[in-house]
Chains A and B, each alone.
Chain A
Amino acid sequence: MSQDSLFHGKIISEQKAENISRVEELAYDLKVDQVMTRDPATVTPDTPMHVVLDLFRTKRISGAPVVLNNELVGLVSIEDLIRCLQKAEMQAETQKYMSTKLLTVRNTDYVIEALKLFVNSHYGRLPVVDNNGKLTGIITKGDITNGILKALQYEYHDEEVRRYRASHLFEDIESDRSSLILRYNIKQGDFMHGGAASSAIKRALIRLGANPQIARRTGLAVYEAEMNLIIHTTNGGIIRVEIEPRQISITISDDGPGIEDISLAMRPGYSTATEVVRELGFGAGMGLVNIQRCVDSMRLESIYGKGTNLRLKIFLPEQEPVGEGN
């Protein structure tokens, strides 16, 4: 969600935005409608106060809107009831004690509007009205706390479910051999995004339940290969990762220029990288050597003038497969 839609056009400095916690964000995210108590118990102006007392006691509430002909005319609270009890006037009608100076919020307002009213007034509850001014509910600070807690719990639960689902991906799918294929197109010369694909692959493996060492080895190998595509190819290339419960197969392919002498390219320290690339911290001639160190098998094929194909395999420990829940 963009900052604009989150804060509804309010200008918030970057520093301020950084300090906003998730709870505060939710106050801007949730609507009054989502946290309020619907169809609250109501009374009419002529309801005797002893009936109000009974209502509060049986419903365990501390305030009620006063309604006449579907119009909100007041609010009667436990404080009004106490004043009435002091005067021993329990036969009096509600309209004598209710407050008529009303602060209301709309059901379509964000929770933050209700919070502001609570902060700036001494009211403990606010009637909620729709756009036509008709009563639709009542909101207390407790309703807001509950609503935010529920939303936080829901979000937490959501992430849990997502992880759980990914880590059990293969369990519920029947086939003789299931796999998940991820593909990434890498642009030549795109140093700015170099490594983005490798990061995504590493994250995917961790979500699928891979142990951290496996995710790290795969990430390192693919990262070197991804940088090779960016540095050395004519038109970029494709990274394809096939994930099976017990092995990860990676193919990195491009359509040129190809490697002239593979054994020379495999020699540690040999590099054809330009000065610009070296300034970026790459081109030390260790890429292929590093890749080989991280994987269980590596096959490099290249036709000079045609392109290069690098195939890597990483085997997962017997007891720690991915996507089968461990």
Chain B
Amino acid sequence: MNVKELIQLIDGRLLTSSADLTKEVKGGCGADLMSDVLASIQPEAVLLTGLCNPQVVRTSVMADVAAIILVRGKTPPPETISLAEEEQIPLISSPFGMFELCGRLYEAGLNSRERPVDGSDCDCGG
């Protein structure tokens, strides 16, 4: 699936214009904790998140994310948009929530690009 098809699938609104929309998306990852994203995401995934600050874009640059989807119709601050523009990462806003979006993408054949983490890696609360 490429970014253009992805946008159609989620009734998305593209917020940047510099990115190449024919870029292939290999899978997905959903998280609001950037540390979780950095720990588990594989390259060329679409990132679904409820966070709107510029760190979402920075994290995506580091993690070779193919596209960012902001859930629940969020509109990010201008700093986030201009950074995404500069880094040529497509930034998309979708009216649906995280669960609905993950479901839609999975159903359309997009697999998880999250590296499974076993319990030994994290004992928070455990």
Contact = CB atoms under 8 A, between A and B. Distances in A.
A210 B37 CA distance: 23
Contact of B62 (A220, A267, A285, A289): A220
Contacts of B87: 199
A267 B53 CA distance: 27
B53 A280 contact: yes
B34 interface: yes
A284 B61 contact: no
Contact of A223 (B36, B49, B54, B62): B62
B56 to A, nearest CB: 7
A277 B98 CA distance: 22
A287 interface: yes
B125 interface: yes
Interface in B27-48: 32-39, 43
Contacts of B111: none
A212 B62 CA distance: 11
B64 A290 contact: no
A268 B51 CA distance: 22
B35 A290 contact: yes
A276 to B, nearest CB: 11
Contacts of B32: 281
Main secondary structure of the interface of B (DSSP, over half): helix
A63 interface: no
Contact of A195 (B61, B79, B122): B61
Interface residues of B, number: 29
B59 A195 contact: yes
A268 B61 contact: no
B123 interface: yes
A269 B35 contact: no
A210 to B, nearest CB: 14
B124 A195 contact: no
B39 to A, nearest CB: 5
Given A282-B34, A286-B35, A268 B64 contact: no
Contacts of A219: 61-62
A92 to B, nearest CB: 59
A54 to B, nearest CB: 54
A269 B125 contact: yes
B51 A281 contact: yes
A166 to B, nearest CB: 19
A167 interface: no
B69 to A, nearest CB: 15
Nearest to B41: A220
B62 A202 contact: yes
Nearest to B124: A269
A18 B61 contact: no
A191 B34 CA distance: 13
Given A267-B123, A269-B125, A191 B53 contact: yes
9 contacts: A195-B58, A198-B58, A199-B62, A216-B64, A223-B38, A269-B124, A284-B36, A285-B124, A289-B39
Interface of A: 18, 191-192, 194-196, 198-199, 202, 212, 216, 219-220, 223-224, 227, 267-270, 280-287, 289-290, 293
Given A195-B55, A269-B124, A284-B35, 17 more contacts: A18-B17, A195-B54, A196-B58, A216-B64, A223-B59, A227-B55, A268-B124, A269-B122, A280-B51, A281-B32, A281-B51, A283-B35, A284-B33, A285-B35, A285-B124, A290-B38, A293-B39
